[in-house]
Each structure stands twice: as structure tokens, then as C-alpha cells.
Chains A and B, each alone.
Chain A
Amino acid sequence: MKLPAELGRTRTSITAAALLVAAVAVVLVSYLYGGSSLGKSITDFFVLAVAVSVPYILGGQGMTLAGRTGIFLVFNEGVMLSAASATFLATYYTGGNILVGLAAGALMAGLFGLIMGFFSITLKQDQFIVGLSLFVAAVGVANFLYSVVIGITTSPPLIPVLKPVEIPLLSDIPFFGRVLFGQNLMFYFATALSVALWYFLYRTRYGLNLRSVGENPRVSDSLGISVTRTRYAATIIGSMIMGLGGAYLPLYFTATYTPSLVNGRGWIVIALTLFGRWSPLTVMLGALVFASAEVFATYSLILNLPIPDQFLLMVPFILTLVILVISYRRAELPQALGKSYDRESVED
């Protein structure tokens, strides 16, 4: 008889081993067939998957940060869209200044985070109700801004897109060089952020305090940790990180704004955060899995499979459902997730 925790660990190591074997197999194949078209297309697939994973990584880390203090963000889909809109407009009107664009996107998302905080922390309203209405509001704001500023045009206004930056030496490694070290700066940023967030949450005192608020706000409060301040900060900063994920969409995929830019990624982010058990490194792994599914769906369209395109495009969503089912047993949530904290209340 094993304790649940041990069981979880065993399963994690099995999963990790399976992923490692798969990774080795992929590397071996692409190495052996390096010059051939098979090796090249496998490498291309992963290059693309890693680039596509950025909004998932950033969205997931934003959710993780807020979730670790007990705030469950469900407005991702809308907030990422509003950030995409703000980023597009700011980049467009500064003549292609991507940094200003990113800042605008983060600020827009941070604003929604602030409102989310006000309703769920200060007014103690149901986080899901507030999140869903802010989702609708954010979608509205995103499209509203674009229509007011740009309106209807015959050809879409364009902004520059992020270019790959090859890291010297490292990018010469076969397979990994192109996949991991030949990406755009936002991917490096997302990776660094994930590691930094992990370090912050699990290796610093502030991180410990922050997590305690998500586990048992009453105890944290009694120990002198400000639940309100911690939750506000995590919600706003988490939303801003998520906003950078939304900002990536026009800067990588389309070079312009369209209302369908997020296309479900915001909701998938919730699923991958649950899958990643609210922990930055596994969330990052989850982001790569979901990004691979997305790339697989679009990649498979050109393979002329005897399956209708629409069913191939369903794959990421169906896979998400399957993964939610698989990960339910080892679900591990901050204990106070989704619950508002009222110091005056007697019940717990």
C-alpha cells in the first residue's frame, strides 16, 4: 500500500521516463535522418511547436502565479485577446516598436487583473462569476478598441513580427540547436520567466509566503502575511504575464489583429495549468505538449489524410479533454483556490 503522495511521484516518474524515451527517439531519428526530408520535417515540427508554445507558457505561468495565492483566473481567453489588441495598436502607432507594444499589452491585461482583484478580493465575489463577466468585457474591449482606432479597412494594417535570434554556438547543436536555441526572444523570455517563477515560488521565503496564502489564508493572515496585498499583487502581475502571452499572438502569428486571434488558447491554458499542477516547470512542460497538439492539427492538414480537416482541427481540444481526465487522479490544487477570504467570517 502506497501513500497517495508516493503514488503521485511514481506516476510522475513514469511519465517523465516515457517523455524522455520519446525525446531520445525523436532526436535519434532526426539525427540519423539528418540530411533526409524525414529528419528535417521532424525538426521543423518541433521548431514550430516550441515557437507556438509561448502563449501557452506565459498564460500558464500567469494563471499559476495567481492560482498559488488562491485566485482562479478564468478570463484568460478575453484578457489575452485584449492584450493582443492593445499590443497591435501600440506597435502599429509607434511605427513598429515591439517593446512599447508588449508594454501596452501587459498594462491592458494588468488592468483586468486589477478589476478581477477588486471584485474577488475586496468585494469577495465569486471568482468564476467575475472571471466570466470580465472575459466577456475583455473580448468587447479588444474588438471595440480595434474598431474605434482602425475601423474597417480593405487590407489589414500590419506590424513587424518577431524574428528568430540564434544563440551562438548553442544553435549549432544538432536538433536541439534549432529547436531550443534558434527561437525568437519571447521564447527565451518565457523560459527564463518560468524558471525564475519556479525559483521564486519554491526557493524563496516570499514564494513560501505567497503559496501559504493559497493554501490557508487564515493561517497566513495570523502570521502577519497580508492576504489582500499578496493576492492583489499576484493577480495583477499574473494577468500581466498572461497579457504578454496574448501580445505574442499578433507579433508571431498574424502581424495584425483579428477577433479570432486567441481561438481557444485561453481556455486550453486553464487545462494545461491544471495538468501542470500549478507548478511552473510542469506547466511549461504542459505548454509544450499542448503546443505540439496545435501544430500537429495544422501540420496534418497538408498531409492529405483520409480524415476531414475539421476533425483534425478538433484534435487539440479533444486531447485537452483526454488530458484533463488522465490528470484528475494526481490533481493537486492550492487548497484555498477559488475561495474568497473574509477575515471577519467565522466559518472556514
Chain B
Amino acid sequence: MKTAVKEQSGVDRFADELVPYLIGVGAALAAAGLMLALLGKNVPQGFAILLTASFGSATNFGLLILKFIPLLLMSLGFSIPLIVRKFNVGVEGQFLLGAVGAVAVGLTFSNGLGIASVPVLLLASIAFGMFWAFIPAILLYRFKVNEIVSTILMNFISFYLVLWVATGPWRDQFAGHPETRQIPGAYFLPLLSSNPEVSVGLVIAAIIPFLAYYYIYKSVQGFELRSAGANARASYVFGVNSSFLAPFALVIGGGLAGLGGGLQVAGLQLRLVDGMQSNYGALSTIIALIAGGNPLGVIVSTLFISVIDVGGSAMNAIMGVPVEMVYVIEALLLLFILMANVYRRRRR
């Protein structure tokens, strides 16, 4: 809380906001170094791999993009409800439902839909993602059911749903793993580059944060979302329908996560694969919380987390460091940033 009003220029304020993040990153990397040292590994080599592996080869860069797209959209799916102080931990399930929607379109209309193929597929994935968030949203609106619990439960239901779809009539009989047949070529996202393989999905994903930023910070409803998040009762008094906005934001978030699933299917996997959500759910929670729900901040934090995630896999391959170490580092990063933020506020 500010006690004395001090004039600060925009640059100063930005630098002031940035400091806790730098401290957080520094502390998290120090923890990583400590863990590497305790494991008896070469620390400088570890850091070099952790931070630069993503840019070292075309394959790794492809891997970075591969993680970046779903993580970005899922983190945005977490961020928009976060503005109203709702925790959409169900982005994982919404992502999967988006993927289910995508293969449902692709395998039902197996002759393609001409020019509309890709848009219809992506719209279906958004709709499926929204539907999956709509259930917790309506439970929140009508019955005040805690959204953390309900969205997580929807994740578990979605895992079994995916397993059912992937082993049902659409199953690929020749695959050893539960997965559906490939969607027809008409639905593939056009490639921007073939090595590394990068699809138009990256462009679509990159536009969304800016739209989200505009929505949250420049639109009337965005203002209402922010005011309801800051003080639900006060904004209610001033005519903001906060009890409607919170579930509404959850549904929007579900749509974004669903789009992530659609892009993953049409741009990369070309089918629904059991377990395709990887550890994206937990990571996107961390990413969105690091960025404090700011969509532009989400771009940066997604990039950073993707880089060290790819770096972690490379460290595992080259140095035999367990991949789970990165997972711990990513959570520590958020905790250190929270801590640094507290001390910044106290200093004022």
C-alpha cells in the first residue's frame, strides 16, 4: 500500500515493476545451480544447456515452438479468469476438449469443407473448450461451487473422455498407443517453415495475447472484469454484474485453451493422442501467475518457461539430470517472484 504519493515516470515505474522479476529469475537460477552442484554435475555446462539449448538446433527450436503455442493459449485461458480472481485450473481439460472438437470435425467431415475446413475446425475446438468451462461456470454462477475444485474435476473427467474417444470408433488400429486416426489433409494448418516445422498456428497464437490485452485493458467489459477482480462488492454497488462476469471469464478462458487444443491437432499432432496435454496444465498455471494475468507479460513468461523446459529435456539427454528438476525450478520461480514483490511493496 502506498503511503506517500511519489511522482514516478513511466520508465521508472516499469523498471520498478521489473526488479522483482529479475530477482525471481536470479534466485530460481541460483537454486538450479545449487541442485546441479548437489547432483555432482557440471554447473556452467548445465546453465549453458538450460538457457541456450532451445536455440542450438532446428529440432530444439521446433520443440520450443511446439511447447510455446499450447502453453501460451492455456496460460491466457488461465489469465482472463484470473483478472476476476478466479482460478481456471481446468485449462488442461479445456485444451483436451478443444482437441476432441478438432478431431470430431476432421473425422466426421472426412472430405474436408473446402476453404472453410480450418476455420470450422478451430471454431469447433473453441466451442468444445468453452463448453468444458461452461459446466464449472454454471456451477459457480448458480451454486457457488469453488471453481478450483470443479475445473480440476473436469480435467479428470476429460482424461477419461479422451481415452474413450481415442479407443472408440475413431481409433487408429495400427497405433500401439490410444490415439485416433489422422485428420484429412484439408484440415492441416499451412506450414511457415518445414525445418523446424512451424505452422500458421504460431501466428494465430501470437495474435491472441494482443487481442486479450485490448479486451482486458481497453474495453468496457475488460474494465468491469478488472474492477470486479479488485473489489467485487464495490464494483457491484457501482452496477458491475460481478457474479455474472466471473463465470463468463471462465468460459472465455475455456475457449482460448480449447483453441490451443485445436491448433495442437491441426498444426502438429494431426490426431487426438492420449496424454497430449503433457504437463501443460501445471506449467500454464505457473506462467499466468508469474505474469499476474497480464496477456503481454504472459508472452514473456511463456517464452521463458518454454526455454527452460526445452533446456531441461536437453540437460536430461546430455547430462542425465532428471527432467523433474526444471519442474521444481519453475514453481520456485513463481514463489521467488511473489517474495520479491512483497519486499518491493514494503520498501515503498
Residues of A within 8 A of B (CB): 74, 115, 119, 123-125, 128-130, 132-137, 139-141, 143-144, 147-148, 264, 267-268, 270-271, 274, 308, 310-311, 313-314, 317-318, 320-321, 324-325, 328, 331
- Taking a contact as CB atoms closer than 8 A, the residue among A144, A313, A324 that contacts B325 in the complex is A144
- Taking a contact as CB atoms closer than 8 A, the residue among B39, B285, B327 that contacts A143 in the complex is B327
Q: In chain A, what residue has the closest Cβ to B162?
A: A310
| Contact status B139-A311, CB under 8 Å | no
| Contact status A137-B335, CB under 8 Å | yes
Contacts of A328 in B (CB 8 A): 143-145
Q: In chain B, what residue has the closest Cβ to A259?
A: B324
- Taking a contact as CB atoms closer than 8 A, the residue among B156, B164, B338 that contacts A311 in the complex is B164
> Is B268 among interface residues, defined by CB-CB distance under 8 A?
no
> Is B30 among interface residues, defined by CB-CB distance under 8 A?
no
- Taking a contact as CB atoms closer than 8 A, the residue among A130, A147, A274 that contacts B335 in the complex is A130
* B144, B153, B328 interface centre (most CB from chain A within 10 Å): B153
- Bitwise interface map of B from 306 to 343 toward A, beta carbon under 8 Å scored 1, else 0: 00000000000000001111011011101100110010
Using known A-B contacts A270-B146, A318-B157, A325-B145, determine if residue A133 contacts B322 with beta carbons closer than 8 Å. no
> Is B282 among interface residues, defined by CB-CB distance under 8 A?
yes
| Contact status B335-A119, CB under 8 Å | yes
Q: In chain A, what residue has the closest Cβ to B316?
A: A147
CA distance in complex: A308, B167 (Å): 10
> Is B95 among interface residues, defined by CB-CB distance under 8 A?
no
> Is B236 among interface residues, defined by CB-CB distance under 8 A?
no
Q: Distance (Å) between the CB of A116 and the closest chain B CB? A: 10
Contacts of A267 in B (CB 8 A): 149, 152-153, 156
Using known A-B contacts A148-B322, A311-B160, determine if residue A133 contacts B144 with beta carbons closer than 8 Å. no
Q: In chain B, what residue has the closest Cβ to A344?
A: B1
| Contact status A324-B146, CB under 8 Å | yes
| Contact status B160-A139, CB under 8 Å | no
CA distance in complex: A318, B163 (Å): 16
Q: In chain A, what residue has the closest Cβ to B1?
A: A345
CA distance in complex: A144, B312 (Å): 12
| Contact status B143-A325, CB under 8 Å | yes
CA distance in complex: A208, B3 (Å): 37
Using known A-B contacts A271-B153, A310-B161, determine if residue A125 contacts B342 with beta carbons closer than 8 Å. yes
Using known A-B contacts A140-B324, A310-B164, A331-B144, determine if residue A321 contacts B331 with beta carbons closer than 8 Å. no
* Chain A interface SS verdict (over half): helix
Contacts of B89 in A (CB 8 A): 132
Contacts of A134 in B (CB 8 A): 331, 335
| Contact status A317-B289, CB under 8 Å | no
| Contact status A270-B149, CB under 8 Å | yes
Contacts of A274 in B (CB 8 A): 146, 149
- Bitwise interface map of B from 58 to 94 toward A, beta carbon under 8 Å scored 1, else 0: 0000000000000000000000000000010100000
CA distance in complex: A318, B161 (Å): 12
> Is B192 among interface residues, defined by CB-CB distance under 8 A?
no
Q: In chain B, what residue has the closest Cβ to A274?
A: B146
Q: In chain A, what residue has the closest Cβ to B346?
A: A123
Contacts of A270 in B (CB 8 A): 146, 148-149
| Contact status A137-B331, CB under 8 Å | yes
Contacts of B342 in A (CB 8 A): 123-125
Given contacts A133-B334, A274-B146, A321-B150, 11 further A-B pairs with CB under 8 A are A125-B342, A129-B334, A132-B89, A133-B338, A140-B328, A144-B324, A148-B39, A264-B156, A271-B153, A324-B143, A324-B146
21 inter-chain pairs at a CB distance below 8 angstroms, sorted by A residue, are A74-B148, A115-B335, A124-B342, A125-B338, A128-B148, A130-B335, A132-B87, A132-B289, A133-B338, A134-B335, A137-B332, A139-B327, A140-B330, A143-B324, A267-B153, A310-B164, A314-B161, A320-B149, A321-B139, A321-B150, A324-B143
- Taking a contact as CB atoms closer than 8 A, the residue among A125, A128, A140, A317 that contacts B327 in the complex is A140
CA distance in complex: A115, B339 (Å): 12
Contacts of B324 in A (CB 8 A): 140, 143-144, 147
| Contact status A308-B87, CB under 8 Å | no
Q: Distance (Å) between the CB of B203 and the closest chain A CB? A: 30
* B286, B323, B324 interface centre (most CB from chain A within 10 Å): B324
| Contact status B139-A325, CB under 8 Å | yes
| Contact status B164-A324, CB under 8 Å | no
Q: In chain A, what residue has the closest Cβ to B292?
A: A129
Contacts of A143 in B (CB 8 A): 322, 324, 327
CA distance in complex: A143, B331 (Å): 14
Contacts of B282 in A (CB 8 A): 135-136, 139
| Contact status B330-A271, CB under 8 Å | no
| Contact status A123-B152, CB under 8 Å | no
Contacts of A148 in B (CB 8 A): 39, 322
Using known A-B contacts A140-B324, A324-B139, determine if residue A271 contacts B149 with beta carbons closer than 8 Å. yes
CA distance in complex: A135, B148 (Å): 13
CA distance in complex: A101, B139 (Å): 40
Q: Distance (Å) between the CB of A332 and the closest chain B CB? A: 13
Using known A-B contacts A125-B342, A264-B156, determine if residue A144 contacts B327 with beta carbons closer than 8 Å. yes
- Taking a contact as CB atoms closer than 8 A, the residue among B139, B145, B330 that contacts A136 in the complex is B330
CA distance in complex: A186, B238 (Å): 54
Contacts of A140 in B (CB 8 A): 324-325, 327-328, 330-331
Contacts of A141 in B (CB 8 A): 328
| Contact status A310-B160, CB under 8 Å | yes
Using known A-B contacts A130-B338, A132-B89, A310-B161, determine if residue A324 contacts B149 with beta carbons closer than 8 Å. yes
Q: In chain B, what residue has the closest Cβ to A273?
A: B149
Q: In chain A, what residue has the closest Cβ to B153?
A: A317
